Copies of this chain bind each other. A is one copy, B any other.
Amino acid sequence: MFDSVLMKFETGMDLSDAERAAIASLLTSTVQFKAGQDMMEEGEQPTHCLVLLQGLACRYRATPNGGRQIMSFQMPGDWLELHSYILRTLDHSIRAVSDCQVATIPYARIDRLLQAHPHLMRALWRDTLIDGAVFREWVVNVGARDSKSRLAHLLCEVHRRLLAVGLATDDEFHFPVTQQELGEAMGISTVHVNRSVQALKEEGLLEFKRGVARFPQPERLRQLAGFNETYLHIEDPDQISGRQSVRVA
């Protein structure tokens, strides 16, 4: 069950066995959330971090007019909450999209982790940097693409990230969201999501039934989306070995 989590931590950093073990030892205390449940809410000052082990979650902000803007989907291996370890007050809410299993880690344990393995702060920092890159891409997506390629891009991103943690095949993955949630993520109405989904289906670029998405022609879909995965910074572990160590000494 921790597979995805460890795969995620592995990407982009070369960790020692001791560091790997230290991280794994944090994931002992877990909680379940039901689909639709809020794990944490905007304005809170949490006392512990969250790591998603199983299921699909999202970050969102409530909008004045009763709506919701989703700003990211999170998948197994992702830190759901690490911001407030440094920033204290949470500036957005975190919700379970499907049923979720989540590890909770008191801040005090993070303190001890980083004291014992200072190098790991770099790994956490790296994670935050990638987070930022994903949000930037989301801005591009919502700000600059029409609804069809916007949807395509969102799907390509989710697919690529699930693939990175071993939860997708080359052309298929589990993505249990409602069309309403898709709309809240893309900043378009539910009705229009439906029409965009249908458009992609008719072009033979997408199948999407009961929470399972399939890309009949992955490359054409990525092309329509203008999807370039660079921003996800999912690096091949082999390429990195030795690199950081040069710098970090």
Contacts and interface: CB of A to CB of B under 8 A. Distances in A.
Interface in A127-173: 128-133, 135-140, 142-145
Given A69-B144, A131-B132, A136-B92, A111 B248 contact: yes
Contacts of A126: 86-87
A34 interface: no
Given A86-B122, A122-B121, A67 B144 contact: yes
A107 interface: yes
A186 interface: yes
B144 A87 contact: no
Contact of A71 (B118, B139, B247): B139
Interface residues of A, number: 52
B136 A71 contact: yes
B130 A87 contact: yes
Contact of A89 (B71, B83, B186, B230): B230
Nearest to A59: B136
Contact of A69 (B121, B143, B247): B143
Contacts of A133: 83, 87, 91
A217 interface: no
A135 B129 contact: no
19 contacts: A12-B87, A61-B136, A63-B145, A69-B143, A69-B144, A83-B129, A87-B133, A88-B243, A89-B230, A91-B230, A91-B233, A107-B247, A115-B249, A118-B118, A128-B132, A135-B138, A139-B139, A139-B142, A143-B187
